[in-house]
């Protein structure tokens, strides 16, 4: 047995199902070892796509997704997806090939110090310098990657080490043990919640990772406290629940921000500051905060909790329920906001304008998708509208990259989502800019048999940047954001996919329904009216918070 074969045995021991990546000279021994493995190697068209697939696989399963590249340009291509997983809290293990250790001391073809290069975008990384340490490196990599807060790790394997004979076996895989908040903090939190007049719950992705949806829903219901979620906290409480205030985090004033303006207590559950800066909702740092999470609060002048409950989130919430009492309290102010939020959403249900308004497009998408179906959002103007208008019944049914916020994630991510949940409908929602960054992975999707739908919000430009430019410099002041596109329908058909073009507002729903029935990936080209961006900006500027 050589080191590469031992590496693969260690990956099997970790329960790895897929390795996403590209072949290269310096990972030949790893690829040879994979041929006899239970692990399926999925050959992608670009290393960035491979990393995004591992990223979304990790986010949906809680188990580290694995991606593989060769050295040099292969490794640098991998970095964007690795960084995305690390900042978004998705467990990922990246494995890179490397020159032999006998070449590292001299100038060598394609050689980069990959351990140094990946260090800033990973939780931990190491090079395997001796065959015998392989089981320890792999076990530590997976344990670090999957421990809270999850993220990316990196293993670098020189080609001469990969070929060396070795004796060894995978290490025993220990389970990550739960920890629990002390009773003194439970009691302090319960007292603060009992006394608050206008509390509001802010839920982030950490609550989804902790599978705390039932606990959050029960806690909010019994305490009669409204719930706002971050972009990455969608579905933690069903959007139809009378206490659900939907998503916060647009960086602009909105109905939900009125709730934070009036609150006298924020209960932050699984909230990560990277998702939505507390300086946006607590600029003066004077709102009392209760922090409920698996890890202690990050240091920020606008986020200094009065009480920190560090431990299992569900347990903390259930324990608070035993002590807190809000029976004599009036409804918190923020509950009154729900009627305005819902009316704003329903306003576009019957809009027949064309190109289609983003609000209408997303409204129709919600009508077509089932409660457990999955939308993977790319990054761009459409992401902001999806964050605000696409609402979820359950966790992990709308995935938005909002830590690193990398364009190009939707198509590779949808492929991974379909592998994890083959019986669910999956849609990659992307702008035309993001589509062109990783559309080559549609060939991968067809080859491996993952029929999802790619819905293109087509505006012929980088719509989010144009929106930002006009906010900064005034309407009409945009530059360097427009481009031309290929014929997306013909492009899809040339790859053996189904292609559709939306030509009226009434086309979208029947096209979506038909596309989702196909046994090959489908692409829908949908013109979108992003004049709504500036209209929305003006609308929220004029918004006043009722008392």
What are the structural domain ranges in the chain?
Answer: 3-163, 183-335, 347-539
Q: What is the pLDDT of residue 545?
A: 79
Across the beta sheet with 65-69, the strand order is 40-43, 18-21, 65-69, 92-98, 152-158, 124-127
Q: Are residues 170 and 139 in contact, defined by beta-carbon separation less than 8 angstroms?
A: yes
Distance CA 250, CA 122 (A): 27
Count CB neighbours of 510 within 10 A.
12
* Whole-angstrom distance, CA of residue 349 vs CA of residue 359: 8
- Count of C-beta atoms within a 10 Å radius of residue 544: 7
Task: Give pLDDT, residue 547.
Answer: 57
H or E, element range at 291: strand 289-293
Task: Confirm if 425 and 373 have CB atoms less than 8 A apart.
Answer: yes
What's the rounded Cα separation, in Å, for the pair 542 and 149? 39
pLDDT in the model for residue 299? 94
State pLDDT tens for residues 223-282: 999 999 999 999 999 999 999 999 998 877 888 989 999 999 999 999 999 999 999 999
Which stretches of the chain drop beneath a pLDDT of 50?
none
Residues 6+ apart with CB under 8 A from 19: 11, 34, 39, 40, 41, 42, 66, 67, 68, 95
Q: What is the pLDDT of residues 386-427, one digit of tens each?
A: 999 999 999 999 999 999 999 999 999 999 999 999 999 999
What does the DSSP assignment read for 55-99? HHHHHHHSSPEEEEE-STHHHHHHHHHHHHHHHHT--EEEEEEE-
CB 256 within 8 A of CB 195: no
Residue 524's H or E segment, with its range, is: strand 522-527
Q: Are 541 and 250 in contact (CB under 8 A)?
A: no
Question: What is the CATH number that goes with domain 347-539?
Answer: 3.40.50.970
The CATH number assigned to the domain with range 3-163 reads 3.40.50.970
What stretch of H or E contains 343?
helix 337-346
**Does CATH number 3.40.50.1220 belong to domain 183-335?**
yes
- Beta strands 65-69 and 227-229 are unpaired
């Amino acid at each position: 047995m050589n080191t590469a074969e031992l590496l693969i045995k260690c990956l099997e021991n970790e329960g790895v199902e897929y390795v996403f990546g590209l072949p290269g000279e310096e990972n030949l021994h790893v690829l040879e070892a994979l041929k006899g493995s239970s692990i399926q190697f999925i050959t992608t068209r670009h290393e960035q796509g491979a990393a995004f697939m591992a990223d979304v696989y990790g986010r949906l399963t809680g188990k580290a997704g694995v991606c593989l590249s060769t050295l040099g340009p292969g490794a640098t291509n991998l970095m964007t997806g690795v960084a995305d997983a690390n900042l978004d809290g998705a467990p990922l293990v990246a494995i890179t090939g490397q020159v032999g250790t006998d070449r590292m001391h001299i100038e060598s073809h394609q050689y980069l110090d990959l351990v140094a290069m990946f260090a800033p975008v990973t939780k931990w990384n190491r090079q395997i310098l001796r065959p015998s340490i392989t089981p320890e490196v792999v076990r530590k990599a997976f344990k670090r990657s999957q421990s809270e807060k999850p993220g990316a790790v990196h293993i670098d394997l020189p080609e001469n080490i990969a070929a060396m004979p070795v004796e060894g076996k995978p290490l025993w895989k220990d389970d990550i043990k739960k920890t629990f908040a002390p009773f003194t903090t439970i009691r302090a939190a319960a007292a603060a919640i009992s006394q608050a007049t206008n509390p509001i719950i802010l839920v982030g992705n950490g609550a989804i990772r902790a599978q705390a949806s039932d606990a959050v829903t029960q806690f909010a219901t019994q305490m009669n406290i409204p719930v706002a979620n971050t972009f990455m906290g969608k579905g933690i409480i069903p959007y139809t629940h009378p206490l659900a205030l939907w998503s916060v985090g647009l960086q602009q004033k909105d109905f939900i921000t009125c709730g934070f303006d009036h609150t006298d207590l924020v209960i932050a559950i699984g909230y990560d500051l990277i998702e939505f800066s507390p300086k946006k909702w607590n600029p003066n740092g004077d709102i009392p905060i209760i922090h409920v999470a698996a890890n202690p609060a990050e240091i920020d002048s606008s986020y200094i909790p009065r009480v920190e409950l560090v431990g299992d989130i569900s347990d903390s919430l259930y324990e608070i329920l035993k002590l807190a009492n809000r029976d004599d309290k009036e409804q918190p102010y923020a509950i009154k906001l729900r009627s305005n939020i819902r009316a704003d959403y329903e306003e576009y249900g019957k809009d027949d304008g064309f190109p289609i308004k983003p609000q209408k497009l997303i409204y129709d998408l919600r009508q077509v998708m089932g409660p457990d179906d999955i939308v993977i959002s790319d990054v761009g103007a459409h992401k902001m509208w999806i964050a605000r208008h696409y609402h979820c019944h359950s966790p992990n049914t709308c995935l938005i990259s909002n830590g690193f916020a990398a364009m190009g994630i939707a198509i590779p991510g949808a492929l991974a989502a379909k592998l994890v949940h083959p019986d669910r409908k999956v849609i990659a929602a992307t702008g035309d800019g993001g589509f062109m960054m990783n559309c080559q992975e549609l060939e991968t999707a067809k080859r491996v048999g993952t029929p999802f739908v790619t819905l293109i919000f087509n505006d012929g430009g980088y719509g989010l940047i144009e929106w930002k430019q006009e906010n900064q410099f005034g309407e009409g002041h945009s530059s360097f954001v427009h481009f031309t596109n290929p014929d997306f329908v013909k492009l899809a058909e040339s790859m053996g996919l189904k292609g559709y073009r939306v030509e009226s507002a009434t086309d979208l729903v029947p096209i979506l329904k038909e596309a989702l029935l196909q046994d090959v990936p489908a692409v829908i080209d949908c013109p979108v009216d992003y004049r709504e961006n500036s209209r929305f900006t003006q609308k929220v500027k004029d918004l006043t918070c009722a008392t």
